[in-house]
Amino acid sequence: MKSLEELKKIKDKTKKKTNTEKDTSLTRILVGMSTCGISAGAKPVFDEFNTLIKDKELKDISVTSVGCLGECSIEPMVEVYQNDKRYTYCEVNKEKAQKIFDEHIVNGNVVEDYLIGQYRK
């Protein structure tokens, strides 16, 4: 890296792919995959989302493994970012991942039963 301009180019390029920019057509699925998340079973959930996306050949959607959000007792946690909307799903397993995928990602119906509001006040 030689200059701040060079750094800024990377920032601008990546912003589109991350939730730092709001008006994007991209749906981002984030899976908490620190030691706490993985020991709670996040890996099969992460794999499931990847498989489902591949199978359906969906575009404009990404699955990312991220660190811990702090709510260790209700992991695995999955967050879905769509434009400026953010959804936090808790205690997700493979079956729940399928349901979130079918109902929320594909059909646009948020799965209320798994939202964080059911677990935290």
**Which residues form the interface with other proteins (CB under 8 A)?**
1-4, 7, 10-11, 13-15, 17-20, 30, 32, 34-36, 38, 64-73, 77, 79, 85-88, 110, 112, 115-118, 120-121
Q: What's the closest the beta carbon of residue 10 comes to other proteins, in angstroms?
A: 5
Amino acid at 9: K
Taking the least distance from each CB to other proteins, the nearer of 101 and 114 is 114
Q: What's the closest the beta carbon of residue 57 comes to other proteins, in angstroms?
A: 23
Taking the least distance from each CB to other proteins, the nearer of 98 and 110 is 110
Q: What's the closest the beta carbon of residue 58 comes to other proteins, in angstroms?
A: 19
Give the C-alpha separation, 99 to 106, whole Å: 10
Q: What's the closest the beta carbon of residue 51 comes to other proteins, in angstroms?
A: 19
Taking the least distance from each CB to other proteins, the nearer of 71 and 102 is 71
Give the C-alpha separation, 20 to 90, whole Å: 23
